[in-house]
A = this chain, B = another copy of it.
Amino acid sequence: MTVASMLFSCSMHVGVSNPKMSSKASACCLLNRPWPSCGQVGVSEKSKLLCRAGALQVESAPLFSVGQKFQFDDVIEAQQFDRETLGAIFEVARSMENIRGNSPGSQMLKGYLMATLFYEPSTRTRLSFESAMKRLGGDVLTTENAREFSSAAKGETLEDTIRTVEGYSDIIVLRHFESGAARRAAATANIPVINAGDGPGQHPSQALLDVYTIEREIGKLDGIKVGLVGDLANGRTVRSLAYLLAKYRDVKLYFVSPNVVKMKDDIKEYLTSKGVEWEESSDLMEVASKCDVVYQTRIQKERFGEKLNLYEEARGKYIVNQDVLKVMQNHAVVMHPLPKLDEIEADVDNDPRAAYFRQAKNGLYIRMALLKVLLLGW
């Protein structure tokens, strides 16, 4: 029995056993009121949103229980997901790849409203989430100037903004400039919150789409060899990826980076503690020849301040080009979180092993999956 079929056969149990579902929310379910709020007295809407999937099936006993294994109310950080939940999300994402325009599946989120509450612009991330919502028949309220809500002059707290916006929508996708903002928002909101990046903190849907892409491209996650290349010190992406890959067996990581932007010790120590093999290398060609995935990243100029000479030196050091492609194995792929500069030469795009645009597209499927699970349950 696959993970997915397990999931679906016991979805009602997950719904019912959710400790957040108060008696008020249950009453709500019986009245079949997904929104607006059941009266005006602060019912937990998160639990309520799961009613559709669960309430009517309470009578039929599940064959077995997965407990709350796959249950989550918000998406705040990559670490919140264990290996099994990742696998379950990936199965949903996979099913999203087959949804066609105007099919019943493409309407599964009809009637739901997502608020994209962005305190700083991030057009790429925003469009990806909004496309995901609309591909499933949902609709979107957009703001890219959410700072106006809490301008210095007006000074509203994030919590108050969340309490207002949750009155207008069914799920909030939050981009914020402060680490920890998503967690605060989720603690306040009675509807699900997805973290779409909070400052130097987390960007969990990016981490998920990276792991999903490796599985889709290579066909497995256990036993893979991944070379992380470029800015390993500042890149939120590679740090999260290293963290997530530690959940799989026999993974080997190679770190290839200029000295000024080496992988930090906290991640190295974490990997060691989890029994993940890693090594640092200055030989991109050798690493590329061994790896299943060459994960290239952009050297982030904005992190170097006035030390532009250091930036220029770091920037030109490890380039993915035809020479690298030549030593890479046939089944291996090049990934990149995008946007890319000249750290990947333009003609690499034409090689079938250049996976980065497929990776960007996978972001759509992962986000469709997260929206589906948060709003409808498994």
A170 to chain B, nearest CB (A): 8
- In the complex, residue of chain B having the shortest beta-carbon distance to the beta carbon of A102: B111
Q: Mark A139-182, 1 if CB is under 8 A from B, else 0.
A: 10111111011100111110011011101111000000000000
Q: Is the CB of A340 within 8 A of B160?
A: yes
Q: Is residue A115 within 8 Å, beta carbon to beta carbon, of the partner chain?
A: yes
Chain B residues closer than 8 Å to A102, beta-carbon distance: 110-111
Given contacts A160-B339, A357-B167, contact A142 B142 (CB under 8 A): yes
Q: Is the CB of B143 within 8 A of A127?
A: yes
| Stretch of A8-16, A31-39, A241-249, A276-284 at the chain-chain interface | A31-39
Q: Is the CB of B156 within 8 A of A338?
A: yes
Determine the distance from Cα of A164 to Cα of B124 in the docked complex, in whole angstroms: 8
Q: Is residue A113 within 8 Å, beta carbon to beta carbon, of the partner chain?
A: yes
Q: Is the CB of A156 within 8 A of B341?
A: yes
| Stretch of A54-62, A128-136, A232-240 at the chain-chain interface | A128-136
Q: Mark A23-55, 1 if CB is under 8 A from B, else 0.
A: 000000000111111001100000000000000
A67 to chain B, nearest CB (A): 29
Give chain A interface residues in 275-314, CB to chain B under 8 Å.
298, 301-302
Instruction: Give the number of times this chain occurs in the complex, counting copies.
Output: 3
Determine the distance from Cα of A110 to Cα of B99 in the docked complex, in whole angstroms: 14
Q: Is residue A361 within 8 Å, beta carbon to beta carbon, of the partner chain?
A: yes
Q: Is the CB of A339 within 8 A of B143?
A: no
Given contacts A113-B131, A131-B169, A164-B357, contact A340 B156 (CB under 8 A): yes
Q: Mark A81-94, 1 if CB is under 8 A from B, else 0.
A: 00000000000000
Q: Is the CB of A168 within 8 A of B121?
A: no
Q: Is residue A269 within 8 Å, beta carbon to beta carbon, of the partner chain?
A: no
- In the complex, residue of chain B having the shortest beta-carbon distance to the beta carbon of A143: B123
Query: CB < 8 Å: which of B106, B142, B338 contacts A111?
Result: B106
Q: Is residue A72 within 8 Å, beta carbon to beta carbon, of the partner chain?
A: no
Q: Is residue A69 within 8 Å, beta carbon to beta carbon, of the partner chain?
A: no
Given contacts A127-B115, A131-B141, A164-B360, contact A339 B149 (CB under 8 A): yes
Chain B residues closer than 8 Å to A361, beta-carbon distance: 36-37, 40, 167
Chain B residues closer than 8 Å to A341, beta-carbon distance: 154-156
Query: CB < 8 Å: which of B34, B40, B143 contacts A100?
Result: B34
Interface centre among A36, A122, A130, A169 (most CB of B within 10 A): A36
Given contacts A32-B100, A127-B141, A164-B360, 9 further A-B contacts (CB under 8 A): A34-B100, A36-B364, A37-B361, A41-B352, A127-B143, A131-B168, A154-B298, A154-B341, A156-B338
**4 shortest interchain CB distances as A-B pairs:** A101-B111, A156-B339, A131-B168, A167-B361
